[in-house]
Amino acid sequence: LYEPGLVTELTQVAPSRWTARPMPVPERQPLMVAFAHRATGEKPFGQSRISRAVQSITRDAVRTMFRMECSSAFHAMPQKFLMGMAEDQMDTFVEMKRKLYADDVLLMTRDEEGNVPTFGQVSGNSPQPFVEQMRFLASLLAGMTGVPLASLGVVQDNPSSAQAIEAAREDIVVAAMRQTDADAASLRRLAALAMAVEGNTTVDVLSESQRAVSPLFADPRTPSPVSQADAMVKIASVAPWVAETDVFLERLGFSDADIRRLNEAKSRIDARAVLAGTGAQAALQLPAGGAE
């Protein structure tokens, strides 16, 4: 239980018995951070991604699948019929219809007028109407959530081009970028609280470097390494100082470990260059007859 300046640990020791252990903390605000989706003034804690419309579409899809399964099971053994049977043969078939339903061979005799009974079979229903209904529901869900149809298992007749795939992902990418922007503030607050708890202090007395801690999210557009590198090189040509920062290396796709190793290697190279320059300068300052 989180309260301003207090954290209470509740432990169940019996089916109807609990014990409480209060733990005072310096921070005067509850040690909790809200991660809200589409927060508004009326709904500060956000709104559910699974809206009522999404729930309704999901229930419709479940019912459609159930109907398709029932139709498939009903027509797994096609309906058969016989026309032109004698009355006594009809009575026999009614009594033995379950056994005769699964028989492979039916033996019939001619009636009194010499006519042969006609055998037939009713064709089963096609699942295509149910498939089209599922495609329609997937289109509705994609329109409400921004999830591309391909991600919902809907296969298009013609392969989509790269531009079409990117356009289909635009809505979900924009939603992801807005969500990361909203979560960044919550993550910064959470990191500050964690550092305050670790130091047994409050957020107000944290150092400037501790307050500067911020999350780093990957680009939801997931650009290719080649296109990302090309974009960063063009930026560096306009602002050359950007190439000297860690952000430039991050955008090129290097991990944090790689960036640290590159910076360490650059420091060693710079140190050797300084020593070489100092030695060369000292050699130039020596008298022509050499050092005494």
Percent of the chain with pLDDT over 70: 82
Please give the biggest Cα pair distance in the chain: 142
**Residue pLDDT, tens place only, 46-75:** 888 888 999 999 999 999 999 988 888 777
Same domain, 270 and 230: yes
Residues 212 and 231 in one domain: no
In a domain, 158, yes or no: no
Structural domain contains residue 179: yes
Judge whether 178 lies within some domain: yes
Residue 57, class by beta-carbon neighbours within 10 Å (0-12 exposed, 13-18 middle, 19+ buried)? Answer: buried
pLDDT given at position 292: 46
CA-wise closest residue to 148 among 166, 168, 167, 163: 168
Domain holding 108, by residue range, is 52-153
Task: Write the pLDDT tens digit of every residue in 194-229.
Answer: 998 888 888 888 888 888 888 888 777 776 677 777
- Give the per-residue pLDDT at 282: 63
Residues 205 and 255 in one domain: no
Asked whether residue 59 falls in the same domain as residue 140, the answer is yes
* Within a domain: 159: no
Whether residue 290 lies inside any domain: the answer is: no
**What's the pLDDT score for residue 291?**
47
Q: Do 258 and 237 lie in a common domain?
A: yes
Domain count, the chain: 4
Q: Residue 25 domain-assigned?
A: yes
User: What is the dihedral sign for C-alpha 84, 86, 91, 96?
Assistant: negative
Q: What is the pLDDT of residues 107-150, one digit of tens each?
A: 666 666 767 777 777 777 788 888 899 999 998 988 888 888 88
Residue 201 lies in a domain: yes
Give the Cα separation of 28 and 2 in Å (integer): 11
* pLDDT tens column, 146-158: 888 888 888 776 6
Q: Verify that 21 and 84 share a domain, yes or no.
A: no
pLDDT tens-place string over residues 4-43: 888 899 999 888 899 999 988 888 888 888 888 888 888 8
Are 180 and 255 contained in the same domain?
no
- Judge whether 8 and 23 are in contact, CB under 8 Å: yes
> How confident is the model at residue 259, as a pLDDT?
84
- State whether 131 and 214 are in the same domain: no
Q: Give the global pTM.
A: 0.61
Mean pLDDT, all residues of the chain: 80
